Structure 1
Amino acid sequence: MIFERSLQRELAYTAGAVFMVLLTIMLTTMMIRIVGFAASGQIDPRDVLVLIGLTVIGYLAVMLIVTLFVSILFVLTRWYKDSEMVVWLASGVSLTRLIKPIAVFSTPIVILIVFFAFVGWPWSNAQSKLIRARFQQRDEVSLLAPGQFRESPTTHRVFFIESMSPDQGRVDNVFVTSTENGKVNVIVSRTGHTETAKNGDRFVVLENGRRYDGEPGHPDFRITEFQRYGVKITSQPVVSTPTASSTPTLDLIRNPSGDNLGELAWRAGLPLIAINLMLLAIPLAYQNPRRGRTINLVMAVLIYLTYSNLLNVMQSQIEQAKISFGLGLVLLHIVVLALVVFLFWLRVRNRPLFTRAMFQRASQGS
């Protein structure tokens, strides 16, 4: 039918444009955030692009939900604004007949949302944690950067080196300070190199330097000159703390703890949100062509933010065992579905969903 083909074609074009805008915003935001982590030494600068890609994969389900909701709302709102919808309704097309072509268009997107919610989200989180753990477990020399003061997370030493060879085998102009039993130890050296003992321990051997030992506030510092001084290199142990967000979906089902059930309800809620918002956009798009579309768009943003935040609340309630998993999984979505049916009923009776008078009364009452 011409009506269905026209609607699906325009939805496809609009969805592509909306998704590209959301993707650009996401990439920009993640780049600023992750580059900041790299600058502060929390992640390896060489992993920035990989972590950005993994973050985008993790949030693709949410981006697709927003894309679906906004694209349907934009297209139908424009049809009302340009009086196209009036023509279709006058031709015998009822409001409920919009559901079929929109559902056909939305089905591939909902399938992608299911995939990224149940597979992409935990996989990307697990890979991001692995990359961060590998960086954090590197030894103290690997954490050093020429020209920067770096603190070791395991020994609370502060290192500074002026330059380092590409293979990290030699360092020049080294400064090391640490605090032990209230006393400050400061070591300065012109050069140094790394050595590995027979038992596998690694050392930085400093050459031609001095060591200063003393207690802050007291003048009795001890100065020791040395030709060779070994500083043992310690490695931070890998602490693997699996979280529900990085656990595969099948493992969540096999181990139904509170956190796992809450995470499972959140993942299952994403495609349900997409379906409900897909239906909600149809009656929500109605507007008087003589008025602006600001009210509908504002209400759409508020509805989406409220819906997503309530899903997080339900997840928290399940994790704390305040409500059962089954009730927490379906209660919110049934309420929203009832709201959708009510809005369809209002539209079939030719009643506006939101009027300026409603907002004026609300502002006067407040």
Structure 2
Amino acid sequence: MIFERSLQRELAYTAGAVFMVLLTIMLTTMMIRIVGFAASGQIDPRDVLVLIGLTVIGYMAVMLIVTLFVSILFVLTRWYKDSEMVVWLASGASLTRLIKPIAIFTTPILILVLFFAFIGWPWSNAQSKLIRQRFQQRDEVSLLAPGQFRESPTTHRVFFIESMSPDQSRVENVFVTSTENGKVNVIVSKTGHTETRDNGDRFVVLENGRRYDGEPGHPDFRIMEFQRYGVKIQSQPVVPVQTASSTSTPGLLRSPTPDNLGELAWRAGLPLIAINLMLLAIPLAYQNPRRSRTINLVMAVLIYLTYSNLLNVVQSWIEQGKMSFGLGLVGLHVVVFALVVFIFWLRVRNRPLISRAMFSRASQRS
């Protein structure tokens, strides 16, 4: 009982530290990536923090799985290195008795994994897509940024302004170019402002400028001077694009298309991965005192990456119709569970995973 409480307490401390490290790495990576999108004009700079938060919510299940696996592996590896496992085994307790205290510690984390996999992941994806689409489908005035060339997503226009008032009502030193029927139109103006008609149409009214019309490669360009020139502002309604990753779990069940079934198998696979890795960490934590503890960490990273990539492959096969939903839902995890049971059996019988006999046979054949 004392050992079990000590194990759970140490697991909690280690899991907290590992999670904070993973969260810091995630926040740093997402901040660099999303700030890059904002700098290139793909998202609104005011939405950077919101998108970072939504991304963290979306990947919370994955971070919790990695936290669970690494923390169990770290704690048990230290127990082997400090001979605490020797005391545990010498007291008559088997290796399988570690499953109960570790399962008690793991249960709240598994509940969180279920929540974020089936609810948090689709909700965060839906909100992120809505924010991006709302920014990309805004009107052309919202595209304008002082000192930058901006292309309209709805027309073949390119805008450049030198300065703009805070309320976007007035602009100065405007350059607008567009292509229509193979002809290029270039408009330059000193000042301009926005107007809204009674029917709701919006215009950018340019003042004191020139317009150049012509076909590239031909000298017959027309030059016109104007005092007022109206450019209609094009806009598009925000139409949410529904994808499998942003569809709620009940929505996937109501519409069992191949893409939705593949997404459902991926979501259901996350808690199953957590359970299998929790069990695998117990025999995998065996530590030779002469060996560095970093080897177990490298093995943990490789095992998780392989497992998660195989889950992505299964999802792709279901979407392509190469694998049935039922087989894809449980097939991979049953195979991994059988492997976990086999490794447990080897450890209980005190057999190494890779014996010296295998190395000697390989050297003889070579």
Normalised to the residue count of structure 2, the TM-score between the two structures is 0.96
Question: What is residue 256 of structure 2 aligned with on the other side?
Answer: 256
CA 1:289 to 1:66, structure 2 compared with 1: closer, same or farther past 3 Å?
A: same
| 2-structure distance, mates of 1:181, 1:18 | 60
What is the one-letter code of the residue matched to 1:240?
P
Cα distance in structure 2, aligned partners of 1:118 and 1:358: 44
Distance in 2 of aligned mates of 1:354 and 1:215:
74
Distance 1:360 1:224, change over 3 A: farther
The structure-2 alpha-carbon separation of the partners of 1:8 and 1:78, relative to structure 1 and needing over 3 Å to count, comes to same
Of the structure 1 ranges 209-218 and 16-25, higher mean CA displacement relative to structure 2 is found in 209-218
Residues 173 and 188 in structure 1, CA contact (< 8 A), matched pair in contact too: yes
Letter in 1 for 2:91: S
What value does the CA root-mean-square deviation take over the aligned residues? Answer: 1.9
Q: Where in structure 2 are the equivalents of 1:179-328 lying within 5 Å?
A: 179-328=179-328
Whichever residue aligns with residue 199 of structure 2, its letter is: N
Measured after TM superposition, the shift of residue 294 of structure 1 is 3.8
Whichever residue aligns with residue 178 of structure 1, its letter is S
Aligned to 1:153: 153
Aligned-partner residue type, residue 224 of structure 1: M
Instruction: Quote the Cα distance in structure 1 between the aligned partners of 2:364 and 2:205.
Output: 76
- Inter-partner Cα distance in structure 1 for 2:64 and 2:215: 60
- Give the whole-Å Cα distance in 2 for the aligned partners of 1:65 and 1:357: 35
Q: C-alpha separation between the residues in 2 aligned to 1:363 and 1:198? A: 88
Distance 2:57 2:358 in 1: 41
Shift of 1:237: 4.1
**What corresponds to 1:43 in structure 2?**
43
Distance 1:151 1:172, change over 3 A: same
Identity value in percent? 89
Residue 72 in 1 paired to residue 40 in 2?
Answer: no
Counterpart residue number, 1:23: 23
Q: Is the CA contact 1:37–1:43 (under 8 Å) kept in the aligned structure 2?
A: yes
Paired residue secondary structure (1:142): helix
Residue in 1 that maps onto 2:52: 52
TM-score (norm 1): 0.96
Match of 1:126 in 2: 126
CA-CA distance at 1:296 after TM superposition: 2.7
What one-letter code is carried by the residue in structure 2 that aligns with 1:82? Answer: D
Amino acid at match of 1:126: A
Distance 1:96 1:201 in 2: 72
Moved more, 347-356 or 220-229: 347-356
Q: CA deviation at 1:241?
A: 2.0
Name 2:135's counterpart in structure 1.
135
Say if 1:365 and 1:116 are closer, same or farther in 2 by CA, change over 3 A.
farther
- Note closer, same or farther for the CA distance 1:362–1:32 as it changes in structure 2 (3 Å cut): farther
Match of 2:96 in 1: 96
C-alpha contact (below 8 Å) 2:252/2:261 kept by paired residues: yes
Corresponding position: 1:111 with 2:120: no
Q: Deviations over 1:108-133 (max 9, x none)?
A: 00000000000000000000011111
SS at match of 1:141: helix
The list of structure 1 runs, each at least 4 consecutive aligned residues, that deviate by more than 6 angstroms after superposition, is 355-366
Judge conservation of contact 1:140–1:152 (CA < 8 Å) in 2: yes
CA deviations on 1:237-278 (whole Å, 9 max, x unpaired) are: 434320010001011111111111111111000000000000
Q: For residue 167 of structure 2, what is the aligned residue in structure 1?
A: 167
CA distance in 2 between counterparts of 1:251 and 1:272 reads 21
Letter in 2 for 1:257: T
Paired with 2:364 and 2:329, the residues of 1 have a C-alpha distance of: 38
1:148-169 C-alpha deviation (Å, 9 max, x unpaired): 1101111121101111111111
State how far apart, in whole Å, the 2-side matches of 1:264 and 1:57 are.
18
Give the unaligned 5+ runs of structure 1. Answer: none
Cα offsets for 1:14-65 (capped at 9, x unmatched): 0000000000000000000000000000000000000000000000000000
What CA deviation, in whole Å up to 9, does each residue of 1:128-151 have, x standing for no partner? 011111111210011100111101
- Distance in structure 2 (CA, Å) of the matches to 1:356 and 1:31: 48
CA distance in 1, matches of 2:223, 2:199: 31
| TM-aligned CA distance change 1:363 to 1:62, over 3 Å | farther
Task: Tell me: CA distance 1:292–1:354, structure 2 relative to 1, closer, same or farther (3 Å).
Answer: farther
Name the aligned partner's letter for residue 160 of structure 1.
F
On the 8 A contact 2:137/2:153 being kept in 1, the answer is: no
Distance 1:126 1:363 in 2: 56
Count, aligned residues: 366
Name the amino acid aligned to 1:272. L
Partner in structure 2 of residue 12 of structure 1: 12
Q: Do the aligned residues in 2 keep the contact of 1:265 with 1:329 (CA within 8 Å)? A: yes
CA positional deviation for 1:219: 2.1
- Distance change >3 Å, CA 236–CA 183, structure 1 → 2: same
AA aligned to 2:282 is: I
Partner amino acid for 1:287? Q
Q: Give the CA deviation at 1:218.
A: 2.1
Change (3 A) 1:278 1:222: same
